[in-house]
Amino acid sequence: MTWFKLPEITYPLHVDTIGKVLALDGEIDVYCNTCAPWRGHRLNLVAIAKRHGIDYSSMHWDLIKVVYCPECRTAGRSDKNLSFQHRTNHLPRCDVVTRKQTN
């Protein structure tokens, strides 16, 4: 198991690394502008951090070096016509379910 030490968040805020995105509970979606510009996929930021380090850049020109569109690659097209969208996590993080005692 790999553990990451998340970076300390400092201000003024610059969310420019994978670690800072994770520390702020953010996410990055990737869109292929060639085959499906309407369909985003959530990047596995932990996998990118494991492979390239927690301080790897979250900027477009650095992400595009390590991410590609598998559908375009298989079809023989350019697989780097990608867009990235940083966003905050909108899903609830709590997995605890409170059940009402019936007896």
Shortest CB 78 distance to Zn ion, Å: 9
State which residue, 18 or 69, has the beta carbon closest to Zn ion: 69
CA distance 48 to 65: 11
State which residue, 31 or 56, has the beta carbon closest to Zn ion: 31
State which residue, 21 or 32, has the beta carbon closest to Zn ion: 32
Residue partners of 63: CB distance under 8 A and separation at least 6: 28, 30, 43, 48, 57, 82, 84
Shortest CB 33 distance to Zn ion, Å: 8
Query: Contact positions toward Zn ion, by CB under 5 A?
Result: 32, 34-35, 69, 71-72
Shortest CB 66 distance to Zn ion, Å: 16
Shortest CB 88 distance to Zn ion, Å: 26
State which residue, 6 or 67, has the beta carbon closest to Zn ion: 67
Alpha carbon separation from 62 to 1, 59, 67, 73 (Å, rounded): 26, 6, 9, 19
CB atoms within 10 A of CB 58: 22
